[in-house]
Chains A and B, each alone.
Chain A
């Protein structure tokens, strides 16, 4: 089975721009979660989606949004980028959201200049 894929792998943007990151889960997995990893804050939860519904959202401003499609693929969008949004964005998928193993993608490295 193919693993979790994330596109793009690297992204450079300037302040004020917006960005969309994509995540394709493992085939058959219906739950997708997003995490932000930075040296200062560590790994922080962004969203969890299951069957196209957002089940939970982390403590991030409204500039961070996401969605899940009927094929379980997910996207997250960050508008009005700030320097502090520079991070590794990790997507994880699982078959079931309730404590099932989450398998992570390789991440998208976002740099905001």
Chain B
């Protein structure tokens, strides 16, 4: 079965510090896409970053960057200069053409403290 594992149910970071959220996945596909989504208390899912598996270069979006290790099937999210507004649930997900769906992990709740 294709799965996504987020082993950190909760993380905490101080404002302005850096935090890394872990994600591993299991797929037999060679072509797929990886995503990080943020879900604040409003429950609105917000796309944070997207990575195409065939690209070796790690995706970056402002303070958000990923460490994509294809061989290890690892896709971690690094948040730099953390802000109070970053507090949310973060979901890792992947999409394969065969499955035609997003498969989500269980999420990591990120707290940002002063």
Please determine whether A58 and B101 come into contact, CB atoms closer than 8 angstroms. Answer: yes
CB distance from A27 to the nearest CB of B (A): 17
**Cross-chain contact of A106 among B35, B43, B96 (Cβ < 8 A):** B43
Interface check B106, CB cutoff 8 A: yes
| B: number of interface residues (CB 8 Å) | 25
Closest to B105 in A: A42
In the complex, 29 of the A-B residue pairs with CB atoms within 8 angstroms, ordered by the A residue number, are: A33-B101, A35-B104, A37-B43, A42-B104, A42-B106, A43-B91, A43-B93, A43-B104, A48-B101, A58-B101, A88-B43, A92-B45, A97-B100, A98-B97, A99-B32, A99-B52, A99-B96, A101-B35, A101-B50, A102-B35, A102-B102, A104-B37, A104-B44, A104-B45, A104-B47, A106-B42, A106-B43, A106-B44, A107-B43
Task: Name B residues whose Cβ lies closer than 8 Å to a Cβ of A.
Answer: 32-33, 35, 37, 42-47, 50, 52, 91, 93, 95-97, 99-104, 106-107
